[in-house]
Amino acid sequence: MTFARSSLFIACTLAAGLGLSACSNSNKDDKKPDNLTASAPATGEASTLSERNAQQRLISTLEGHFKKAGIKAKITDIKTTEVPNLYWVSLEGMSSIYATSDGKYIIQGDVIRLGDKQLHNVSETLQSEVNKKLFTSLKKENLLIYPAKGKAKHVIYVFTDVSCPYCHKFHEQMDEMNAKGIEVRYIAWPRGEQHMPAMEAIWCNEDRRAAFDQAIAGGSITPANCQNPVKDQYQMGLNIGVNGTPGVYSSEGLYLGGYMSTSDLLDRLK
């Protein structure tokens, strides 16, 4: 497998605090300008014929620009945002982007609204809707699940890699999280091609949880090959903008952050 992404990447993210709470993607390819990564916001569906026509014109304009630039990107959806003349554009097989209404500019990253005591990330709503659909579509047998003790009060999805020190710290509090009613569903997200074999070996193990526990604690893993979802899960993470591990999401698709204590996690879930 190669981790090269499409020819669309602009290496710019709002990842404040990432170095303090998550392990970054160590792929050398990630440093190349080869994939768009963006979150997306929005206010809703087009409600008038004129708005729908404007969106269709924008799609045609963008497709023309993409073709001229040799960019193979299929537009699957487009929505207005709360920012005047700025649209959210969903692309097949890659992260969403923003586009100006004239189709001349595309933008990646988060859009932050100022004016309140707290900064408001207007990207969260639509992206979380996309994330929720993706998480719901995942088969449980393709995940690594640590169920809550008793009735589950919360379910979280966590992109993880056994080579990441912050994933180690997060996993050390698994018993505490489970005791607090949090079910943890791990998604494989190796941070570089060199880490792919280890994650595939875990996902191919008959006792996946035991293999993961051993590997995350620094133990060796017996190499194993089988048909597994690791590559697909890695690509899904790229598509929704994951750029480090652990990447923690609620069952509603909201990004909660990187490593955090159990008490901080509960606060964010509330």
% of residues, the chain, pLDDT over 90: 58
Which residue has better confidence, 253 or 76?
Answer: 253
- The CA angle 135-78-80, to the nearest 5 degrees, is 105
Query: Confidence class of residue 178 from pLDDT cuts 50, 70 and 90?
Result: very high
CA distances (Å), origin 63, targets 76, 89, 96, 107, 236: 11, 12, 15, 15, 23
145/246 same-domain check: yes
CB atoms inside a 10 Å sphere around CB 149 = 14
pLDDT, residue 228, reads 96
CA distances (Å), origin 53, targets 49, 82, 106, 147, 231: 6, 19, 20, 48, 38
Sheet holding 182-188, edge to edge: 144-146, 182-188, 154-160, 247-250, 255-257
151/240 same-domain check: yes
Residue 11 in any domain: the answer is: no
- Share the mean pLDDT of the chain: 84
User: Using CA atoms, how far apart are residues 210 and 188, in angstroms rounded to an integer?
Assistant: 15
Residue 9 in any domain: the answer is: no
110/138 same-domain check: no
pLDDT, residue 67, reads 93
pLDDT in tens, 71-83: 888 898 888 888 9
Sheet holding 97-100, edge to edge: 75-80, 86-91, 97-100, 106-107
Structure tokens at 77: 């959806």
Annotated catalytic residue within 191, 204, 226, 232 = 191
pLDDT in tens, 108-156: 888 888 988 888 887 788 889 889 999 999 999 999 999 999 999 999 9
Q: Let me know: does 248 contact 255? Beta carbons within 8 Å.
A: yes
Indicate the number of domains in the chain.
2
164 is catalytic: yes
Whether 165 has a pLDDT exceeding 90, the answer reads yes
The residue from 102, 127, 152 where one domain ends is 127
pLDDT in tens, 14-67: 333 444 577 877 664 444 333 333 333 344 455 588 888 889 999 999 999 999
% of residues, the chain, pLDDT over 70: 84
161 is catalytic: yes
28/48 same-domain check: yes
The three-class DSSP label of residue 257 is: strand
Annotated catalytic residue within 164, 207, 226, 232 = 164
Annotated catalytic residue within 23, 30, 110, 167 = 167
Annotated catalytic residue within 161, 207, 209, 267 = 161
